[in-house]
Amino acid sequence: MADPAAAPELLVEVSDGVAVLTLNRPAQRNAFTATMGRALGAAYRDCDADDDVRAIVLTGTAPAFCAGADLGSAGDTFGRPGDDFSASPVNPPAFALRTPVIAAVNGHAVGIGLTLALQADVRVVAADAKYGVVQARLGVLGDAMSHWTLPRIAGAAAAAEILLTGRTFDGAEAVRLGIATRCLPAEQVLPAALALATDIAENVAPMSAALSKRLLWDTVEHGYTAAQVAALETEAHHRVMGGADAREGVLAHLQRRRPQWSSRVSQEWTDLPRP
């Protein structure tokens, strides 16, 4: 019988344009480790460089998504950090990719389990699971750039309550707070996320998705004005209008068929300018 401890902490499966990245320490409810963080960052980089990957789904081996940091060292879990310590241990974060990332939060997501999911573009959560950025109750504080993602996703007031109380909440409240777009029974979370990812993979032009995602997150990060966004949208349109995918998208729509996209983001991408 295979030793469960020898199983990889991150499973990667790619099929039909969708990469599924699964946090895989089920006996520990997928508690986060440095090894898992390095593996996730490497998988993000690999997927973003692969034009055959049109969307990414991040999930956890049931019954949890990620129960937070591995507390196996008890009182020394958050011991004095070394010089190489980072509170953002997954590099690159999901929002820095060009590929859309959907977090299928199929069970408890606590501490870094939730703060990593906050870096995704879309979150689908389980109704009866527990969520929270609980680090302040453990003598530390929110990580993975949660002091940046949370205010921008849920607003400053909700972010302050979540970060400063460290309280937990269920899936329905996660939707009310604006953290998630959908709340479903746990067994429906991954299928729903896969359906959304497949829809993107099949029907959305890869360069259009990449440019739109970059503009969304750049606007969040840099606080662009409406006029600056208008200029960047115009710049992005100059890149895609007149191209093969702009023609293919319209023809596929008129002919009621699936589009055959030809853009190669890995070869054609250049960053949007800073206004």
Predicted confidence pLDDT, tens digits, the chain (275 residues): 345 556 799 999 999 999 999 999 999 999 999 999 999 999 999 999 999 999 999 999 999 999 998 876 544 445 566 667 788 899 999 999 999 999 999 999 999 999 999 999 999 999 999 999 999 999 999 999 999 999 999 999 999 999 999 999 999 999 999 999 999 999 999 999 999 999 999 999 999 999 999 999 999 999 999 999 999 999 999 999 999 999 999 999 999 999 999 999 999 999 999 98
Report how many domains make up the chain.
2
Domain membership flag for residue 109: yes
Give the Cβ contact number of residue 68 at 10 Å.
23
Phi, psi of 69 (to 5 degrees): -65, 150
Tell me, what's the pLDDT at 1?
A: 37
Yes or no: say if 174 and 183 are a contact pair by the CB < 8 Å rule.
Answer: yes
Pair 97, 228 in one domain: no
**Cα–Cα separations (whole angstroms), residue 73 to 33, 111, 254, 270, 272:** 12, 16, 60, 44, 44
CATH of the domain at 222: 1.10.12.10
Pair 90, 165 in one domain: yes
Domain membership flag for residue 159: yes
Pair 40, 174 in one domain: yes
Domain membership flag for residue 181: yes
Pair 18, 77 in one domain: yes
Pair 84, 43 in one domain: yes
CATH of the domain at 60: 3.90.226.10
Pair 210, 250 in one domain: yes
Domain membership flag for residue 273: no
Tell me, what's the pLDDT at 166?
A: 97
For residue 110, give every residue at least 6 positions away whose Cβ sits within 8 Å of its Cβ, in sequence order, or none: 66, 67, 68, 130, 131, 132, 134, 168
Domain membership flag for residue 79: yes
What's the half-sphere exposure (Cβ side, CA atoms, 13 Å) at 256? 0
What does pTM read for this prediction? 0.93
- Show which of 174, 200, 226 is a domain's final residue: 200
Tell me, what's the pLDDT at 69?
A: 86
Pair 130, 245 in one domain: no
Pair 48, 129 in one domain: yes
Pair 190, 214 in one domain: no
Which structural domain, as residue segments, surrounds residue 113?
4-200
Tell me, what's the pLDDT at 75?
A: 47
Pair 170, 264 in one domain: no
Pair 264, 184 in one domain: no
- Show which of 183, 200, 217 is a domain's final residue: 200
CA distance 134 to 92: 23
Yes or no: say if 34 and 77 are a contact pair by the CB < 8 Å rule.
Answer: no
The separation between CA 156 and the C-alpha centre of its own chain, rounded to angstroms, equals 21
- Show which of 147, 170, 200 is a domain's final residue: 200
Pair 213, 190 in one domain: no
CA distance 193 to 105: 9
Which tokens is 203 given? Answer: 């029907």
